[in-house]
């Protein structure tokens, strides 16, 4: 089976940097997603990592280490609107299976 762990909640200050970690145990790893979900809304795609390393996209970056079963999402220059839940999801299975397994999400609270 799959197991995905993320911290339940984090707080940070506006303008700061925050790193949200995700660890996973899975077989047949095919890729890792990060999504942002504001309360009562749908998830929005942030990133997808297949290979090891850091991928940067504006204020958000995502890192993957397949050997360690570890990823993080880095948010820079935090804004109040970044207060949301951040979901880590791992795509796994044989034959290029798509099926993603989601973590419980990390609720990020940004305060002034």
Partner 1 sequence: EPEVTQTPSHQVTQMGQEVILRCVPISNHLYFYWYRQILGQKVEFLVSFYNNEISEKSEIFDDQFSVERPDGSNFTLKIRSTKLEDSAMYFCASRDLAGATYEQYFGPGTRLTVT
CB of 16 to partner 1, least distance (A): 27
Separation of alpha carbons 37 and 30, rounded Å:
23
Q: Least Å distance between CB 45 and partner 1?
A: 5
CB 37 within 8 A of CB 44: yes
50 interacts with partner 1 by CB under 8 A: yes
Instruction: Pick from 7, 10, 48, 76 the residue near partner 1 by CB under 8 A.
Output: 48
Residue 105 binding partner 1, by CB under 8 A = yes
User: Which two three-digit tokens encode residue 9?
Assistant: 């909640």
Q: Which residues pair with 87 in a beta bridge?
A: 35
Residue choice 20, 84, 89, 90 for contact with partner 1 (CB under 8 A)? 89
Q: How many CB atoms lie within 10 A of CB 1?
A: 6
Cα distance between residue 46 and residue 32, in whole Å: 11
- Residue 57 beta carbon to partner 1: minimum distance, rounded to whole angstroms: 10
User: Could you say whether residue 43 binds partner 1 (CB under 8 A)?
Assistant: yes
CA distance 112 to 68: 35
List interacting residues with partner 1 (CB under 8 A). Answer: 31, 33, 35, 37, 41-45, 48, 50, 87, 89, 91, 97-105
């Amino acid at each position: 089976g799959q197991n995905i762990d993320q911290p339940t909640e984090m707080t940070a200050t506006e303008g700061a940097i925050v790193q949200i970690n995700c660890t996973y145990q899975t077989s047949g790893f095919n890729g890792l997603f990060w999504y942002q979900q504001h309360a009562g809304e749908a998830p929005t795609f942030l990133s997808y990592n297949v290979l090891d390393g850091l991928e940067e996209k504006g204020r958000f970056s995502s890192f993957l280490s397949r050997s360690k079963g570890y990823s993080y999402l880095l948010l820079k220059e935090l804004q109040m609107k970044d207060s949301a839940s951040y979901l880590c999801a791992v795509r796994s299975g044989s034959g290029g299976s798509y099926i993603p397994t989601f973590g419980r999400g990390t609720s990020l609270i940004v305060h002034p």
